[in-house]
Amino acid sequence: MNVNKLAYVKEAKYLGVIICNDLKDDGDILRHLRNFYARSNSIIRKFYHCSVCAKLRLFHAYCCTTYCCQLRVNFNKGSYLKAKVAYNNMHRRILGYNRRYSASSMFANNAIDTFDALLRKNIYGLKKRIFNINNDLIRVMYNGFQIVNGPMWISWANSLYTVNM
């Protein structure tokens, strides 16, 4: 800019989200994962004597904030799996289950959303809000060929309409 050289950085934090120069979302996922573990352990430690129902409500209100999770489409599968394992493990710890206990039966028995279900609900909610918006500029943008065939919409379609096995 003018006579000043701009510093080149590999990543920058903007509005609480880490943006990397390679446009991958792994850095932000890992930052979110560290915060998730810290908050979860804090709830387990500070509210040890509370009921399981109270701990779960605190956990979902305080730890399961999924800010921008719908927009993360360019990440390694390992980052996604780490986040999913963290979600499962912290639920086990809050509910008092052994770490070898089946996550799917734990979620089914306690009527808790799985990590994938939570992600799908967030994607569906954002997509629904976008489709119901009254702003003409945004309508033109999401009806555009580049947007509908872009990586975010393809990722959304894969999450919402295909079965992950």
So what's the pLDDT on residue 47?
Answer: 92
Please give the Cα distance from 40 to 56 (Å, whole number).
10
- The answer as to whether 2 is a domain residue is no
The reply to whether 109 falls in a domain is yes
Domain-embedded: residue 18: yes
Does residue 14 sit in helix, strand or coil?
strand
Q: How many domains does the chain have?
A: 1
pLDDT one-digit tens code per residue, 34-69: 888 999 999 999 998 999 889 888 888 888 776 666
pLDDT digits (tens, 9 = 90+) for 81-110: 898 899 999 999 988 888 888 888 888 888
* pTM of the predicted model over 0.85: no
The parent domain of residue 64 ranges over 11-161
Give a yes or no: residue 5 inside a domain: no
SS3 20: strand
Residue 155 resides in a domain:
yes
Q: Does residue 60 lie within any of the structural domains?
A: yes
Domain contains 101: yes
Q: What angle do CA 102, 77, 31 make, to 5 degrees?
A: 90
Taking the C-alpha atoms of residue 57 and residue 94, their distance in angstroms, rounded to an integer, is 11
Q: Is residue 1 one of the residues assigned to a domain?
A: no
- Sole residue written with tokens 């799985």: 114
